Chains A and B, each alone.
Chain A
Amino acid sequence: GNSVTQMEGPVTLSEEAFLTINCTYTATGYPSLFWYVQYPGEGLQLLLKATKADDKGSNKGFEATYRKETTSFHLEKGSVQVSDSAVYFCALSEAGGGNKLTFGTGTQLKVEL
């Protein structure tokens, strides 16, 4: 079956540091890949997505590239802010799978001044 593996948190960074959150996946077909973010007390929000190999999703300074050869979709940001503190979820949706999202366990990011 499909699965998503994320690096464990919490990840604690100083403001303006570089962020990488690793995500790898297992899927039988050609999935679409997503990063969702959950701010404290709020629902999940789509951060970015990529639907085919070598696509790069980007939003709010965050980027992730769909790497089919390494089955990865690592999230990066060049300079984090305190307001980026949240839980980040990597997810996949397999074509023909009825848009069912399979999520990773989430990675908590804490950004300090």
Chain B
Amino acid sequence: EAGVVQSPRYKIIEKKQPVAFWCNPISGHNTLYWYRQNLGQGPELLIRYENEEAVDDSQLPKDRFSAERLKGVDSTLKIQPAELGDSAVYLCASSPPWTEETQYFGPGTRLLVL
């Protein structure tokens, strides 16, 4: 079974530029999460989707971050404009409906903002 797929794996941009990350969850997983992991820290939840609906986006900085999951499958997280402090690893995770506590993580996208 394929795991959670994320792309790109690495991204280097200059500040004020836009950037987008893509995630394809494990087939059949209706819950999708985006986390941000700063260097030397644990991941922090940005947004959680149940199918197409964003059910928890309380930690998403909405002035510059946006996310979508239009068909309830893959998802895109966007930052516009990026700031130096956005440099981090962005992790996507998914969980199946019958065991929502177990989240399966992708390899992440490492973002460096110069």
Binding site for B on A (CB under 8 A): 4, 32, 34, 36, 41-46, 49, 51, 89, 91, 93, 98-101, 103-106
Most chain B beta-carbon contacts within 10 A, residue among A42, A89, A101, A105: A101
Shortest C-beta distance, A66 to chain B (Å), equals 13
Tell me, in angstroms, the Cα distance from A61 to B80 when the chains sit together: 45
A residues less than 8 Å from B106 (CB atoms): 43
Shortest C-beta distance, B97 to chain A (Å), equals 11
Q: Are B91 and A43 in contact (CB under 8 A)?
A: yes
Q: Are A101 and B105 in contact (CB under 8 A)?
A: no
Given contacts A51-B101, A93-B101, contact A4 B42 (CB under 8 A): yes
Tell me, in angstroms, the Cα distance from A99 to B32 when the chains sit together: 11
Tell me, in angstroms, the Cα distance from A42 to B31 when the chains sit together: 21
Q: Are A100 and B48 in contact (CB under 8 A)?
A: yes
